Amino acid sequence: MMIHIDGSYGEGGGQVLRTSLSLAAITGNPISIYNIRAGRKNPGLAAQHLTGVRATATICDAEVRGDTLGSMMLEFIPGGAVKAGNYTFDVTQARQGGSAGAITLVLQTILLPLALATGDSQVTLKGGTHVPFSPPMTYIEQVYLPTLKQMGVEVEVKLNSWGWYPQGGGVVELLVSGGRKLAGVHLGERGDLQQVRGLAIATELPSHIPQRMASRAENLLTEAGFKHAIKPVREKGVAPGTGLFLTAEYENSLAGFSALGRLGLPAEKVAQMACEELLKFHQTGAVVDEHLADQLLLPAALASEKSEYHVAEVSTHLTTNAWVIEQFGLARVTVDEGEKLVTVKPLISFPFEH
């Protein structure tokens, strides 16, 4: 039975599309999405969304209508169970003249379908690895995947080349272990802050830039009384780019914060932006940062038992994603705004036969 989804619901962004695609592939349910990304300045499918659609269609032999750039309507009919395999998906091919579309968003669309499928998969993703308005690859490596590992998802990831906006050109390799059964996650208390790990990175730029970012971050974190280890690194890339990526390691949880450099923005200011985000989160006492809060909903909905976690902020990203999951009847998601507590109760156990 076709599930109809209004892409303009709630936050009206690409998250509605990504979650719908993942769940269509996993459950075998055909979907029809309209008003895709209606809440955005350039609505419809951008390069990374189109790549996500095609990648998901490839792994489950789906029949697709409306898979063109700028399309605000999509029909997606899975042709069978998700197949493990050796795949390459390149965001740059989705648009003439290339694209730095975020490959992390493609990764998050196909990861859980492949983790639940029978057999292991090798996936190469090409495009933007560290671009604005999407999770940087470093966050995926340091926060998202380690948290998913606690839930039973096994992935090895290798960043072969950094891809910044607007050129892209990044390359990431994934090794996904299939046939996983997911456990729930319980993150009620974060415990003490053990340390802040950081990466001050620059590609195709002078080495004083990561050095200055690292020094400023170290000063700010020392002032805050945090133990830290910030590493300044110069890497090869197809184009110049820079950023600071921080991971707060608490006893029971991880949280990630970052800032990207751009022309005219001093290295010290980049460091300050990332550190301020971390300090703000630390003061909330929350366990799960705002980004992980909505990224955990999907694995929690596919787990074999209830999940509960305290979030820093109840964002529209979170409530929108909860609504999409409920359209598939897989789980009941309750968000206590006062307590900032998210509870996910799965209603179906995976893996099941289509």
Asked if the domains at 3-180 and 189-284 fall in one CATH topology, the answer is no
> Measured between alpha carbons, how far is 328 from 346 in angstroms, rounded to an integer?
11
pLDDT at res. 39: 85
Strand 63-65 versus strand 73-77 pairing type:
antiparallel
Q: Mean pLDDT in runs of 10 for the chain (354 residues)?
A: 95 95 97 94 93 98 97 98 97 80 96 98 96 95 98 97 91 97 95 98 95 98 98 90 97 97 95 98 96 97 96 95 96 96 90 52
Bridge partner residues of 168 (DSSP): 164
pLDDT at res. 92: 87
Contact indicator for 121, 156 with CB cutoff of 8 Å: no
Q: Which CATH number fits domain 3-180: 2.60.120.260, 3.65.10.20, 3.40.50.720, 3.40.640.10?
A: 3.65.10.20
> Measured between alpha carbons, how far is 83 from 72 in angstroms, rounded to an integer?
28
pLDDT at res. 351: 59
30: nearest Cα among 82, 66, 77: 77
For the whole model, what pTM was predicted?
0.96
Contact indicator for 315, 297 with CB cutoff of 8 Å: no
pLDDT at res. 100: 79
pLDDT at res. 350: 65
pLDDT at res. 238: 85
> Measured between alpha carbons, how far is 342 from 309 in angstroms, rounded to an integer?
5
State whether residue 124 is helix, strand or coil. strand
- 310 as an active site residue: the answer is no
199: nearest Cα among 250, 149, 274, 119: 274
For the structural domain made of 189-284, what CATH number should be given?
Answer: 3.30.360.20
Annotated binding site: 108, 291-295
Strand 241-250 versus strand 254-260 pairing type:
antiparallel
Q: Kindly state the tokens that stand for 311.
A: 């979030």
pLDDT at res. 352: 55
> Measured between alpha carbons, how far is 169 from 308 in angstroms, rounded to an integer?
38
For 128-157, write each residue's pLDDT tens digit: 999 998 999 999 999 999 999 999 999 999
Catalytic residue among 49, 282, 310, 317: 317
For the chain, the domains span: 3-180, 189-284, 288-348
> Measured between alpha carbons, how far is 293 from 49 in angstroms, rounded to an integer?
21
296: nearest Cα among 321, 278, 277, 315: 321
pLDDT at res. 354: 44
Give all strands (DSSP E) within the chain, no chain letters. Answer: 3-6, 31-34, 63-65, 73-77, 86-90, 121-127, 155-161, 170-176, 186-187, 193-203, 228-235, 241-250, 254-260, 307-310, 331-336, 341-346
Annotated binding site for ATP: 108, 291-295
